């Protein structure tokens, strides 16, 4: 895409691993239809949502309009940005994510998560819940690379942050355009999470795409087209 600052840049905020490695297929699907940039999180610092929001704000463009896409873990960060939008923020995409703890029955476990082996379950048990049944060799390799890059203590800290988060009030104050991308077969973030978002923010555009939690990876082309349409309408 030509370097036209009237066209928003797409800023991608990653899921729980925070590396951005898993955005590869989605970025390829977007191609020249959008200028994309990934903001990866520190892999060796156990930062919570407030600290990561500050980290992201420092990394955002200052010379062009942009749209922020928050995937899964990063949804609350995208919501916080939208509630107090910095200059240039034109819209937000919330993908397979939540505004508040999507597992309320596990909220009590937050203080103890720091002592748990977050990735204790073997990959063959975790993968069907996250990826569904359509994984490729590339999916598996990128997933392994992303997981290997991040310290266990960092992952535990992020899981604890998820179990304590509630950005409902921030969401209710959002006045910029928002699109909610929901996976029809998400076995990680329950459907109730998306319903809570659109109930709190009725003006949000909601789109359900058939696929598992790793929607941007398994349905990269469909997601890229949807995000592209949203950006063109801003």
CA 18/CA 83 separation, integer angstroms: 22
pLDDT at 33: 86
Name the burial class of residue 11, with classes exposed (0-12), middle (13-18) and buried (19+) by CB atoms within 10 angstroms of its CB. buried
Which helix (H) or strand (E) element contains residue 9?
A: strand 9-13
pLDDT at 107: 65
Tell me the per-residue pLDDT of 117-136, one tens digit each, with 9 for 90 and over: 544 444 433 444 565 556 66
Whether 189 and 215 have beta carbons less than 8 Å apart is answered as no
Domains and CATH numbers, the chain: 9-232 (3.40.50.1820)
Which helix (H) or strand (E) element contains residue 92?
A: strand 89-95
Tell me the per-residue pLDDT of 166-220, one tens digit each, with 9 for 90 and over: 999 999 999 999 999 999 999 889 999 999 999 999 999 999 999 999 999 999 9
CA 120/CA 156 separation, integer angstroms: 11
pLDDT at 1: 40
* Sign for the pseudo-dihedral over CA of 22, 26, 31, 32: negative
Greatest pairwise CA separation for the chain in angstroms: 50
Which helix (H) or strand (E) element contains residue 179?
A: strand 178-183
Tell me the per-residue pLDDT of 67-116, one tens digit each, with 9 for 90 and over: 999 999 999 999 999 999 999 999 999 999 999 999 887 665 556 555 55
pLDDT at 148: 73
| DSSP 8-state assignment for residue 5 | T
């Amino acid at each position: 895409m030509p370097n036209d600052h009237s066209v928003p840049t797409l800023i991608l905020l990653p899921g729980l691993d925070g590396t951005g490695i898993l955005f590869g297929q989605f970025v390829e699907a977007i191609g020249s239809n959008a200028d994309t940039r990934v903001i990866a999180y520190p892999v060796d610092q156990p930062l919570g949502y407030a600290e990561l929001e500050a980290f992201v704000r420092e990394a955002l463009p200052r010379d062009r309009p942009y749209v922020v896409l928050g995937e899964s873990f990063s949804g609350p960060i995208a919501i916080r940005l939208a509630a107090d939008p910095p200059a240039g923020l034109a819209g937000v995409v919330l993908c397979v994510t939540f505004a508040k703890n999507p597992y309320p029955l596990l909220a009590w476990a937050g203080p103890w998560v720091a002592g748990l082996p977050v990735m204790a379950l073997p990959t063959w048990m975790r993968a069907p819940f996250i990826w569904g049944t359509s994984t490729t060799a590339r999916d598996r390799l990128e997933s392994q690379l992303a997981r290997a890059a991040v310290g266990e203590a960092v992952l535990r800290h992020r899981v604890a942050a998820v179990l304590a988060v509630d950005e409902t009030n921030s969401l209710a104050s959002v006045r910029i355009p928002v699109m909610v991308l929901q996976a029809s077969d998400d076995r990680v973030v329950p459907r109730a999470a998306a319903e809570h978002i659109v109930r709190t923010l009725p003006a949000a555009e909601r789109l359900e795409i058939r696929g598992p939690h790793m929607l941007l990876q398994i349905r990269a082309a469909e997601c890229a087209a949807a995000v592209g349409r949203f950006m063109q309408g801003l």
